[in-house]
Amino acid sequence: MATQPPPPPPPPPGTDRLATIRTYILIAFIFAIIFMIVWIAGFLTTIAGLAFAAAFGFAAVVIIPAIFYLVWFVFNVIVFLRIWKMYKAVNAGDIATLKATSNIVWAVLALIFAGVIPGIMLIISDGPIKQL
């Protein structure tokens, strides 16, 4: 009878949780990029409308939505950079940095400025991150 090699050792206990957190943060990362593109498109469309409205003397009305899109884009970039930092930490397995950057306040800010899906993914990932 031939001997079979022993089965591989089980993965460390935090590996499956870390993989789940990685997936949540990756989804938040992708949708944050999508929402940044949406805010840029909205800003550029509004500026094009501003140029068109300026020809007819209504430029002051159109500048307000352009400022709105620009402000939301800036906040979205800040939230995106935070998600990027979390994504790099989870890929490197740096749990200390991941715990330091994970915060429910940032998740709520992502919910407001970066869209519903990134915010919900960060809220969902906050619990498993705190359990690491």
Distance CA 67, CA 105 (A): 24
**Whole-structure pTM over 0.95, yes or no?**
no
Q: Tens digit of pLDDT per residue, the chain (132 long)?
A: 567 877 766 555 556 888 888 999 999 999 999 988 988 888 888 888 777 777 777 666 777 777 888 888 889 899 999 999 999 999 888 888 888 988 899 889 888 888 899 999 999 998 888 888
CB count within 10 Å of CB 92 equals 10
Residue 79, token pair as written in the block: 């939230």
By CB neighbour count within 10 A (0-12 exposed, 13-18 middle, 19+ buried), where does 4 fall? Answer: exposed
User: If you ran DSSP here, which 8-state letter would residue 110 be given?
Assistant: I
